[in-house]
Chains A and B, each alone.
Chain A
Amino acid sequence: MSFDINTIINNMKNAAVDAIKDDVESIPDYLKQIFENEKEALKALAEARLAGEISDKEFQNEIKREKEVLEAEILTISIMTKAIAQKAINAAMKALVDAIKIVI
């Protein structure tokens, strides 16, 4: 029975990296999209207020709404990061179990 801990740890690390590679790369793109959306919305709001298309009261209400929209969008980043951590840990543990099955 041989148990090469260095090989197993390396396999676990590789399994974790492979499992989450694409997901990790998608986060900055999605964050960029969120703030692009926000920029467009705030620009439209500012222009509408300056043109007198909406009142100050409506403007304040819209700013409050935008804050909530941004919060909802950012919450998806939180789900993404949790799902990534979950995938990484489970892939690493599967690599460990697979290696042990071979040993025993």
Chain B
Amino acid sequence: MSAASLRAAFTPNRVVSRSTVAVLVGAQAALLALLWVKSPLEAVPGPLAVVGALRELWFEQGLGPALAVSLSTSLEALVLATVLSLGLAYASVVPAFRPLAGVVSRGRFLGLSGLTFVFMLSLGGGQPLRLALLVFGLTVFLTTSLVAEVAAIPRARFDHARTLRMREWRVVWEVVVLGTADRALEVVRQNAAIGWTLLTTVEGLTRAEGGVGTLLLDQNKHLHLAEVFALQAVILAVGLGQDAALGWLRRAVCPWVGDSKGRGSS
């Protein structure tokens, strides 16, 4: 990296080349790794201990099946919450349904632990309870963001559709549903991460079905720090993979977002 590139990297509002970004990321990752290896803190297990813990978790403690349980629960909840939230957000263009979306959105201030009892009496516990709690937790945040996206559509876009003789429901389809599809998927991608933070809480409430969250809480309870670090690393990796997959899905479903050459089909 040249001196000019280095100077640019530390100057506000400058654009740097891809190679400079690669060098910066590599250097910071190396620094982080060095800090980790040389850390004097006993609470931070070393890389070898974490790798060893990961091996043991995978081969001895059923990390693979636990991961499968968590992944399927997380994805199922994400799909259900997305469908519910999109329905609520699209319905918010009808004045009669707007308060409903508002009430659901305010639900994000409610703690999951406080709702467990109500959900348990209704659903009886187990996997349905986990799923319901996760769907609730995701829906309240997704609805908030999606309703905001719909509310932010400029009046000019509705007017544009009306000048093309579209009736109001067609205007909703064209401007609200299709017109915000790319941003709606971006909102889902960003909020999907919340699912993994909620998952550990939810899996801690009903442990019999297993899952990464259950495993993490067990290791935490016994102060197995290397295992805790290993599980956090696994959750991070899975979350990043999910994020990349949702980003790919968005570009596949909404090709007008990502084609820099601006070509497509009618």
Q: Are both chains from one complex?
A: no
Residues of B within 8 A of A (CB): none
